[in-house]
A and B are shown apart, each in its own frame.
Chain A
Amino acid sequence: MMGYRLDRLTVLVVDDNQHMRSLVRTILESLGVSQILEARDGAHALEKMGQTQIDLLIVDWNMEPMDGLALTRHLRTSSESPDQFVPVIMLSGHTEKARVMQARDSGVTEFMAKPVSARSLYARIVSIIENPRPFVRTNDYFGPDRRRQMLPFDGPDRRKAAGAEAASKQSQPLSGAQQAALNRTKDTIKSMHKS
Chain B
Amino acid sequence: MSGEKPKGAVEVIHPPNKIKARVGPAGKGMDPNLLARAEAAMAKAQEQVDFTVQANPELAKAAEAVSLLLSDRENQAKHLNNLFNIVHDLRGGGGNFGYPLVTRIGGMLCRYLEGRTSVGMVEVEVLRSLVDAMRAVVTNKLKGDGGPVGQELCASLERLVG
Contact = CB atoms under 8 A, between A and B. Distances in A.
B92 A119 contact: no
Contacts of B65: none
Given A128-B19, A129-B19, A178-B162, A118 B38 contact: yes
A73 to B, nearest CB: 17
A193 B140 CA distance: 8
Interface residues of A, number: 82
Given A22-B45, A30-B37, A182-B129, A171 B88 contact: no
Contacts of A92: 88, 92
A155 B91 CA distance: 12
Contacts of A23: 42, 45-46, 49, 96
Contacts of B95: 114-115
Interface in B96-124: 96-97, 100, 103, 106-107, 110-111, 114-116, 118-120, 122-123
Nearest to B32: A1
A33 B160 CA distance: 45
B156 A27 contact: no
A5 interface: yes
A185 B40 CA distance: 37
Residue of A29, A92, A115 with highest tally of chain B CB at under 10 A = A115
B106 A29 contact: no
Contacts of B100: 115
Contacts of A95: 107
* Chain B interface size, under 10 / 10 to 19 / 20 to 34 / 35 or more: 35 or more
B160 A181 contact: yes
Residue of B95, B115, B142 with highest tally of chain A CB at under 10 A = B115
Contacts of A167: 115
B92 A93 contact: yes
B115 A27 contact: no
A169 B26 CA distance: 53
A174 B125 CA distance: 10
B24 A5 contact: yes
A8 B22 contact: yes
A156 B103 CA distance: 12
Contacts of A169: 114-116
B126 interface: yes
Contact of A162 (B13, B15, B29, B115): B115
B117 to A, nearest CB: 8
9 smallest A-B Cβ distances: which pairs?
A115-B95, A93-B92, A166-B115, A4-B27, A181-B159, A114-B92, A30-B38, A118-B38, A165-B115
Given A182-B129, A184-B156, 10 more contacts: A2-B26, A8-B24, A17-B92, A122-B30, A134-B15, A171-B123, A180-B159, A181-B157, A186-B129, A192-B139
22 contacts: A9-B22, A23-B45, A23-B96, A93-B88, A93-B110, A114-B93, A116-B96, A119-B30, A119-B39, A129-B17, A129-B23, A134-B13, A137-B10, A145-B12, A158-B111, A162-B114, A162-B115, A168-B115, A169-B115, A184-B159, A186-B132, A188-B153
